[in-house]
Amino acid sequence: MIFYFQDTVRKIDALKSLRPNSKYTLRGDVLEWHSDNEEVKPSDTEITNEITRLQAEYDAKDYARKRKAEYPTIADQLDKIYHDGIDSWKEEMILPVKNKFPKT
């Protein structure tokens, strides 16, 4: 799994996805391949295609990142369930957020 700390997939993200066990140095946009195992250095096209694929995957989950930021804390949700029940929790805490950020 790749964790993104920005909104744009970078070449390093694609390399980690394509060849997770390889050894290389990436200076700017220049890739120096050091892997002595049997993994082949990915082509520029392969890297570009992986960047495109990873970016599409990241963009498709935008709704989930927005929902996560809007949901109440777990403690507040559990308190709601304890005092008012599951149905009330769903109606008052969960559905408004899901409706605000629908899955696309």
List per-residue pLDDT tens for the chain, 104 residues long: 455 556 788 999 999 999 998 999 999 889 999 987 778 999 999 999 999 999 999 999 999 999 999 999 999 999 999 999 999 999 999 999 999 999 97
Residues 66 and 47 in one domain: no
Query: How high is the pLDDT of residue 5?
Result: 55
For CA atoms 8, 9, 10, 12, the dihedral sign is positive
Q: Long-range CB contacts (< 8 A, 24+ apart) of 80-85?
A: none
Residues 29 and 67 in one domain: no
Residue 52 identity (one-letter amino acid) = T
Residues 18 and 37 in one domain: yes
Query: How high is the pLDDT of residue 54?
Result: 95
Residues 70 and 56 in one domain: no
Q: Is the pTM of this model over 0.75?
A: no
Residues 1 and 45 in one domain: yes
Q: How far apart are CA 7 and CA 49, in angstroms?
A: 17
Q: For residue 28, give the nearest of 11, 40, 13, 3 by alpha carbon.
A: 11
Supply the range of the domain harboring residue 75. 62-104
Residues 50 and 79 in one domain: no
Residues 17 and 2 in one domain: yes
Tell me how far CA of residue 94 lies from CA of 62, 70, 72, 99, 103, in angstroms: 17, 10, 9, 9, 14
Q: What are phi and psi of 69, to 5 degrees?
A: -70, -25
Query: How high is the pLDDT of residue 66?
Result: 96
Query: How high is the pLDDT of residue 36?
Result: 77
Residues 14 and 32 in one domain: yes
Query: How high is the pLDDT of residue 38?
Result: 77
Residue 32 DSSP symbol: E
Query: How high is the pLDDT of residue 6?
Result: 66
Please count the structural domains in the chain: 2
Tell the burial category of 9 from Cβ atoms under 10 Å away from its Cβ (0-12, 13-18, 19+): buried
Query: How high is the pLDDT of residue 102?
Result: 95
